[in-house]
């Protein structure tokens, strides 16, 4: 194992050296740069989710496994690790050229309550409060069984990740939450790449085969029981692979514009933050077996997306103190209201876009901002006046907006818009910064119906034997509005459960 890790380390470092000579405007380089920092600080972080060296060569594919996991995002890799832990011989098929899915892009963190990290930092929280606030955020339309299970298992999911060397011990807050329960990496960086790298490393250490360019086309069944999948390898050869259980972890349909236009014609034309593999394949395959769906028209539009590159600007920028201003240089909403409300407020502006404005303090607390800077999104001014000039808003007004805001922070009272969170620090340390944003399609709350055992259900509520699903592919947990930070919690809690329950099922056969 040590030898394998060292070989991978050398390969990744060579790749990093090679890439550091290239242009600076693409995301893969930023991924690589993040990996480079991690390799310097911690050798065990060396395996990159984006490195080809991580994946299993196709000639090692067998005809039969205990459990097949479709999709190598956060839910799929968690499920695979737990299936293995429970004595299974699992395999993961990923249709893209690299693992990670939308998980790789997630920024804010992972929401969880009553965790050891909250306790260590004297943050008072309860599962009941987490439940209540998520239900309120979802407008009381969440599947309450799934939600109860989710909050009650969120702390153990944080512990499970910690036991795998994936520690999320830096706490922040996202829209709709009243306490700091969004767990992120120690240095405050985006959670996605850190999580994916950590999961890939564990999958590799456990010798779980992970095949990329392996596009699952169909889930096979006999007499109502799942028997395996048909998978297209490298776009050339289709193979039928047998298994007693299949876990569908194919993510959402946020990149399937046809399906979105069908279920939500009003969202036509918006940009999407989704990776191109998020096309809802799992939903179609499950429907073909009689599985049912819920909330398919519930699609989350994220309020803060950089439009030219469809890149999400994480809620942590606002959670750590950033404000939103219009082209008039004025605030216009509680920036940490739920995503649907902030989106609606931006859409009411004549320009239908806004600037996130922040200072050097926010920049130092949110590591992801460095990445936004490398991608060319961040506009800088040494003073507020200089920034106002750069973004073409009235300087007097921007100054007045910041003065009023800093006064609100000092008095812990936002008389204008009633914001109560993300007010630990004011915006007074230059240089000052702005990022232009507008809403974009981000997350699909709808999906297949499961129970708390992650069993996929038919229209009459019966489990389909041997068929499990977890992650963004499922519907109901988030209701009509997902809270930022809840999807990472979702994929770990239910990915874990899918691994355990699929193993139990296989053993009972």
Active site residues: 339
Tokens of 369: 């901002």
Q: Pick out residues in 267-296 that bind ligand ADP (CB under 6 A).
A: 277-278, 281
Q: Pick out residues in 103-132 that bind ligand ADP (CB under 6 A).
A: 103
Please name the residues in contact with 249: beta carbons below 8 A apart, sequence gap of 6 or more: 69, 70, 71, 72, 73, 75, 76, 79, 282, 469, 470, 471, 473, 491, 495, 498
Looking at 20-28, 34-42, 90-98, 168-176, which segment touches ligand ADP (CB under 6 A)? 90-98
Query: Token match 């790298």: residue?
Result: 197
Separation between Cα atoms, residue 241 and residue 225, nearest integer Å: 15
- Nearest approach in angstroms of CB 248 to ligand ADP is 9
For residue 474, the 8-state DSSP code is B
Residue closer to ligand ADP, measured from CB, 114 or 490:
490
Helix, coil or strand: residue 241: strand
By CB under 6 A, residue 471 contacts ligand ADP: yes
Looking at 64-72, 114-122, 309-317, 372-380, which segment touches ligand ADP (CB under 6 A)? 64-72
Backbone angles phi, psi at 111, to 5 degrees: -75, 135
- Nearest approach in angstroms of CB 392 to ligand ADP is 37
Q: How far is CA 363 from the centre of its chain?
A: 21
Query: Token match 């259980």: residue?
Result: 245
Residue closer to ligand ADP, measured from CB, 140 or 206:
206
By CB under 6 A, residue 319 contacts ligand ADP: no
Tokens of 128: 């009941």
Residue closer to ligand ADP, measured from CB, 76 or 198:
76
By CB under 6 A, residue 185 contacts ligand ADP: no
Looking at 12-20, 71-79, 331-339, 408-416, which segment touches ligand ADP (CB under 6 A)? 71-79
Among 45, 66, 94, 125, binds ligand ADP (CB under 6 A): 94
Closest C-alpha among 426, 427, 404, 428 to residue 417: 404
String of contacts with ligand ADP for each residue 404-443, x by CB under 6 A: ----------------------------------------
Under 8 Å between Cβ of 74 and 488: yes
Residue closer to ligand ADP, measured from CB, 221 or 281:
281
Under 8 Å between Cβ of 477 and 504: no
The DSSP string of 94-146 is: -SSSSS-GGGGG--S-EE-SS-HHHHHTT----HHHHHHHHHHHTTT-S-HHH
By CB under 6 A, residue 491 contacts ligand ADP: yes
Interface residues with ligand ADP (CB under 6 A) are 70-76, 93-96, 101-103, 215-216, 249-251, 277-278, 281, 471-473, 491
């Amino acid at each position: 194992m040590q030898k394998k890790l060292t070989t991978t380390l050398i390969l990744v470092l060579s790749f990093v050296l090679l890439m550091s000579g290239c242009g600076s405007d693409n995301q893969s380089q930023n991924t690589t740069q993040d990996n480079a920092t991690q390799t310097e600080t911690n050798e065990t972080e060396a395996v990159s989710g984006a490195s080809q060296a991580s994946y299993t060569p196709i000639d090692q594919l067998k005809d039969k496994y205990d459990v097949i996991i479709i999709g190598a995002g956060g839910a799929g890799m968690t499920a695979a690790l737990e299936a293995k832990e429970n004595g299974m011989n699992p395999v993961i098929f990923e249709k893209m050229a690299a693992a990670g899915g939308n998980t790789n892009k997630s920024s804010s963190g992972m929401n969880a309550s009553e965790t050891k990290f909250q306790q260590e930092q004297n943050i008072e929280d309860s599962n009941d409060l987490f439940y209540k606030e998520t239900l309120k955020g979802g407008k009381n339309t969440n599947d309450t069984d799934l939600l109860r299970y989710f909050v009650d298992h969120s702390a153990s999911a944080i512990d499970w990740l910690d036991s795998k060397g994936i520690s999320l011990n830096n706490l922040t807050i996202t829209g709709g939450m009243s306490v700091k329960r969004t767990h992120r990496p120690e240095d405050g960086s985006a959670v996605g790449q850190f999580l994916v790298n950590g999961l890939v490393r564990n999958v590799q250490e456990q010798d779980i085969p992970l095949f990329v360019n392996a596009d699952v086309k169909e889930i096979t069944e006999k007499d109502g029981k799942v028997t395996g999948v048909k998978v297209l390898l490298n776009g050339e050869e289709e193979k039928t692979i047998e298994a007693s259980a299949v876990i569908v972890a194919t993510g959402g349909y946020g990149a399937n514009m046809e399906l979105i236009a069908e279920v939500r014609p009003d969202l036509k034309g918006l940009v999407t933050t989704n990776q191109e593999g998020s096309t809802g394949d799992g939903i179609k395959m499950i429907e073909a077996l009689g599985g049912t769906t819920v909330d398919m028209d519930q699609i989350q539009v994220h309020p803060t997306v950089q439009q030219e590159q469809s890149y999400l600007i994480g809620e942590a920028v606002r959670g750590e103190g950033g404000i939103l201003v219009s082209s008039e240089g004025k605030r216009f909403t509680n920036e940490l209201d739920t995503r649907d409300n902030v989106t609606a407020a931006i859409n009411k502006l004549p320009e239908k876009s806004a600037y996130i404005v922040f200072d050097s303090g926010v920049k130092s607390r949110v590591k992801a901002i460095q990445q936004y800077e490398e991608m060319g999104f961040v506009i800088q001014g040494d003073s507020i006046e200089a920034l106002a000039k750069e973004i073409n808003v009235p300087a007097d007004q921007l100054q007045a907006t910041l003065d009023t805001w800093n006064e609100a922070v000092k008095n812990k009272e936002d008389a204008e818009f009633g914001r109560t969170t993300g007010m630990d620090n004011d915006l007074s340390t230059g240089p000052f910064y702005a990022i232009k944003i507008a809403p974009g399609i981000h997350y699909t709350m709808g999906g297949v119906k499961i129970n708390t055992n992650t069993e996929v259900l038919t229209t009459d509520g019966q489990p389909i034997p041997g068929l499990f699903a977890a992650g963004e592919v499922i519907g109901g947990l988030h209701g009509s509005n997902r809270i930022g930070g809840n999807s990472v919690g979702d994929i770990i809690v239910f990915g874990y459960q899918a691994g355990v329950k699929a193993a139990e099922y296989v053993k009972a056969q």
